[in-house]
């Protein structure tokens, strides 16, 4: 699924799709827990208010720059295979 198809869905359908995928990472933002999910070729941030058990908003995006706040908490599977680029000596 691409981000434009996702945006054409109803909020309920968007939530069902996002929560059918596992969470990649999370971060704290003010009083919110922000969970990062991947859907197709894009990401979705889910802003959750634990005080009242409510989802405040969902923010879909494709920019890798927006992944930076999650890097410290990124859950990378232990069985992940790391490939070496043909023109680089460093691991990707």
From first to last of its 92 residues, what are the pLDDT tens digits of the chain? 899 999 999 999 999 999 998 889 999 999 999 999 999 889 999 999 999 999 999 999 999 899 989 887 766 656 655 544 454 444 44
- The pTM of the full predicted model, rounded to 2 decimals, is 0.76
Task: Check residue 92 and give its pLDDT.
Answer: 41
Domains in the chain with CATH codes: 3-73 (3.30.67)
What does DSSP say about strands 54-61 and 32-39: parallel, antiparallel, or unpaired?
Answer: unpaired
Q: CA–CA separation, 51 vs 84, rounded Å? A: 45
Q: CA–CA separation, 67 vs 15, rounded Å? A: 20
Task: Check residue 45 and give its pLDDT.
Answer: 96
Task: Check residue 88 and give its pLDDT.
Answer: 46
């Amino acid at each position: 699924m691409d981000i434009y198809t996702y945006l054409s869905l109803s909020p309920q359908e968007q939530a069902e799709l996002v929560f059918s995928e596992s969470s990649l990472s999370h971060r704290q933002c003010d009083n919110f827990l922000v969970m990062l999910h991947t859907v197709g070729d894009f990401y979705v941030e889910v802003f959750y208010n634990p005080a009242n058990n409510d989802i405040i908003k969902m923010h879909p995006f494709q920019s890798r720059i927006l992944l930076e706040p999650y890097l410290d908490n990124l859950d990378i599977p232990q069985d992940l295979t790391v490939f070496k680029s043909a023109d680089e000596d460093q691991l990707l």
